[in-house]
Structure 1
Amino acid sequence: MRIKKALLPLVVISILLFTSCIPNKDLVYLQNSKKNEKSIEVSESVSKPYRVQTNDILNISIKALDQRLVEMFNPSITTSQGASQLSQQSLYFNGFSVDDHGNIRVPVLGELNVLGYTVEEIRDVLEKRLLDEYFKSESRMFVTVKLAGLKYTVNGEIGKPGTNVLYQDKVNIMEAIANSGDITMTGDRKNVQVIRKLPHGFETHTIDLTDVSAIESPYFYIQPNDYIYIKPLKQKSWGTGTTGMQTIGTIITALSLITTTILLTRNL
């Protein structure tokens, strides 16, 4: 009977250790369950080009042999040193915003509908309109169209929650998370939630970042204005610790408190 009583605390501690510690498989990204496969190809549907939506901001740059002819098309800020510089703030005020009808207002050309177009398609439309109506091929006109940064928001169990802007054409969710300080140990990597704005409204999707098949998800590459939410693991609410040593420390503290309370009660 005494042996059973002595073993009881060990059993309780063992159960707490197994249930409260976060296993390594819940922390490692992109694990391949099929060990014989060396690589996975990304399908075409994942890497489709982004199509412009309302409230996007475009950075349009037009160059020609005589740059004075196209100055009005190029919003820029000149610093005290005389260099031309575009910041996120200046792009907000000087870039080409897509209104609720999917139009941008371009000097001379007027309103141009770009809703659902890729940046390459917008560039082709601009070049054609300008060459057909205002310029000649001898002007050697060169048009560049880009999104004014890829803005996204990360919240929840993340190192640096908040809104970030990356100046890249494509950003995957792993890069976005790394740029935000990585998911904390108590973050659920198996159930990352992505809320995406689409023309018909918002869609919510979950992606398991511990599974290598996540790279085949249409949500692996983020889009402008995506909201990424990292849910907490159950271990966080239990408060027993994320590692074995932390859990043991918590248990010892709790047992010491109980023992002290019992001894003080008996002495009263």
Structure 2
Amino acid sequence: MKNRFFIVVILINVLLMSCIPHKDRLYLQNKQQATDSEQVVVEQQKPYRVQINDILNIRIKVTDQENVQIFNPIGEGNLNATAGERAYFDGFTVDLHGDIRIPELGKLHVLGYTTDVIEKKIKDKLLAEQFKETANIFVTVKLTGLRFTTLGEIGSKGMKTLYQDRVNIFEAIASSGDIPDTGNKKDVLIIRQYPQGQKIHHVDLTDVNVMHSPYYYIQPNDMIYVKPLKQKAWGTGTTAIQNITTAASILSLLTTSILLFNRI
């Protein structure tokens, strides 16, 4: 009888320890203050610099618009194409050398430049080779959506594209189905591309100070990896009630097995 009681105590303790603490499930906790009345200033996003394989959407407008038809894509007429497909075929992809090729203007090096700088480079090249100041040239350069990839313990895995100028980490996660209770919100990895290679950055989404982080806003081609908590590998419940239910089932099975064994 004592052995049975001992087994029950150990089993309940193990199952209760395996539940996920409430504080590990909450986003944006104020861990430095007793209250959450303090305002948090969001980290200012730095201008994005174009990378290899980025796709740029370039539009050129002048007084006589017929003179720039060769520069502007015409794929909008294909109603069967998705936004992503139109962006791929109509946009200007940055090649392995960091260049794009524009009709009549030829190659233009854009690697490492912001879209504002690229707009100026295109306008200057047009004025030098194609038009005069009186043409009133207006150039816009945008990324064709913000593309990122989600992996690990998250609702929806895979590549996503959001057609916004900027996206923060919470918007990216929300668009991917959120992080379940079994995902580690305290140590989310952001794998980011740089000219010299990839780097891994760690962010704690349970801390309100994540909004101060330089990685609060994601960048094109980021990979977001959410590690599973050890509780998932144990296969128990995520709350104490779920664990007690599991414990009751196991205890019932053990009791039945012991009674049957004693009758043999």
Contact 2:99/2:111, CA 8 A, preserved across alignment: yes
How big is each residue's C-alpha offset from its partner over 1:195-222, in whole Å with a ceiling of 9 and x where there is no partner? 1111101101111100111112221111
User: 3-state DSSP class of the match of 2:70?
Assistant: helix
Contact 2:147/2:161, CA 8 A, preserved across alignment: yes
What is the aligned partner in structure 2 of residue 185 from structure 1?
A: 181
Contact 2:115/2:141, CA 8 A, preserved across alignment: yes
The answer to whether structure 1 residue 108 and structure 2 residue 107 are counterparts is: no
User: 3-state DSSP class of the match of 1:74?
Assistant: coil
Match of 2:172 among 176, 180, 185: 176
Q: CA deviation at 1:65?
A: 2.6
Match of 1:79 among 77, 80, 85: 77
The answer to whether structure 1 residue 256 and structure 2 residue 252 are counterparts is: yes
Higher mean alpha-carbon deviation, 117-126 vs 33-42, is at 33-42
What is the aligned partner in structure 1 of residue 133 from structure 2?
A: 137
Higher mean alpha-carbon deviation, 65-74 vs 221-230, is at 65-74
What is the aligned partner in structure 2 of residue 266 from structure 1?
A: 262
Q: CA deviation at 1:80?
A: 6.6
Q: CA deviation at 1:31?
A: 0.8
Contact 1:76/1:90, CA 8 A, preserved across alignment: no
Contact 2:147/2:159, CA 8 A, preserved across alignment: yes
Contact 2:12/2:244, CA 8 A, preserved across alignment: no
What is the aligned partner in structure 1 of residue 200 from structure 2?
A: 204
What is the aligned partner in structure 2 of residue 128 from structure 1?
A: 124
Contact 1:66/1:139, CA 8 A, preserved across alignment: yes
Q: CA deviation at 1:133?
A: 2.3
User: 3-state DSSP class of the match of 2:58?
Assistant: strand
Q: State how 1:16-31 maps to structure 2 within 5 Å.
A: 16-31=14-29
In structure 1, what is the Cα distance between the partners aligned to 2:217 and 2:112? 18
What is the aligned partner in structure 1 of residue 61 from structure 2?
A: 63
In structure 1, what is the Cα distance between the partners aligned to 2:237 and 2:82? 46
Indicate how the Cα distance of structure 1 residues 76 and 128 shifts in structure 2: closer, same or farther if over 3 A, else same: same
In structure 2, what is the Cα distance between the partners aligned to 1:165 and 1:80? 20
Indicate how the Cα distance of structure 1 residues 99 and 131 shifts in structure 2: closer, same or farther if over 3 A, else same: same
What is the letter of the counterpart of residue 55 of structure 1? N
The answer to whether structure 1 residue 236 and structure 2 residue 228 are counterparts is: no
Indicate how the Cα distance of structure 1 residues 129 and 80 shifts in structure 2: closer, same or farther if over 3 A, else same: closer
Match of 2:51 among 50, 53, 58: 53
Contact 1:155/1:230, CA 8 A, preserved across alignment: yes
Tell me, which stretches of 5 or more residues in structure 2 are unaligned?
none
Tell me, which stretches of 5 or more residues in structure 1 are unaligned?
none
What is the letter of the counterpart of residue 195 of structure 2? P
Contact 2:12/2:247, CA 8 A, preserved across alignment: no
What is the aligned partner in structure 1 of residue 222 from structure 2?
A: 226
Q: CA deviation at 1:235?
A: 0.9
In structure 2, what is the Cα distance between the partners aligned to 1:153 and 1:221? 14
Q: CA deviation at 1:6?
A: 8.5
How big is each residue's C-alpha offset from its partner over 1:123-179, in whole Å with a ceiling of 9 and x where there is no partner? 111112212321123323221100111110001111111110011111111110000
What is the letter of the counterpart of residue 180 of structure 2? T
Higher mean alpha-carbon deviation, 199-208 vs 69-78, is at 69-78
Indicate how the Cα distance of structure 1 residues 143 and 80 shifts in structure 2: closer, same or farther if over 3 A, else same: closer
What is the letter of the counterpart of residue 38 of structure 2? K
User: 3-state DSSP class of the match of 1:72?
Assistant: coil
What is the aligned partner in structure 1 of residue 162 from structure 2?
A: 166
Contact 2:76/2:86, CA 8 A, preserved across alignment: no
What is the letter of the counterpart of residue 27 of structure 1? R
In structure 2, what is the Cα distance between the partners aligned to 1:172 and 1:127? 31
Contact 1:153/1:228, CA 8 A, preserved across alignment: yes
Percent identical among aligned pairs is 52
Contact 1:131/1:137, CA 8 A, preserved across alignment: yes
User: 3-state DSSP class of the match of 1:164?
Assistant: strand
